[in-house]
Amino acid sequence: MHKHVEWDDPGAAGVLRYYADHPQDYPEPHVGSIVSALFRGFTVRVRVEARVDETSIGEVVALIAADNGRRKQSVGDLAMGDTVRLPDASRAMEPHHPEAEDDDERD
């Protein structure tokens, strides 16, 4: 069973918005892809296990702080390993974190 998530609006970082002018270049996710979204200001990476109606279903494999790139084990009620549904309209481009650390920060 998947966990229901209210994804943040990706705004200007939205994948569909980014590819609006070049839809032929849009990389549709497939099983094994890693896709990203925003949740409570964090970047969430999801490994796609299935695709249904322009929605990826998969496991949360990373939770990354937007301000410094540090990784977390959980954010609110969303945690590493949770299975979630991620609509293409909620997908977001990831920000670059020059100060990101490799070590995970645990809650």
Provide φ and ψ at 13, rounded to 5°. -90, 5
Using alpha carbons, select from 78, 74, 89, 100 the residue that is nearest to residue 14: 89
Spatial CA neighbour of 28 closest among 60, 52, 4:
52
Q: What percent of the chain has pLDDT over 70?
A: 90
Q: What are 50-102's pLDDT values in tens digits?
A: 999 999 999 999 999 988 889 999 999 999 999 999 999 999 998 776 555 44
Distance CA 69, CA 102 (A): 9
Reported residue count of the chain is 107
Q: pTM here?
A: 0.85
Contact 35, 45 (CB under 8 A): yes
What value does the mean pLDDT take over residues 12-41? Answer: 90
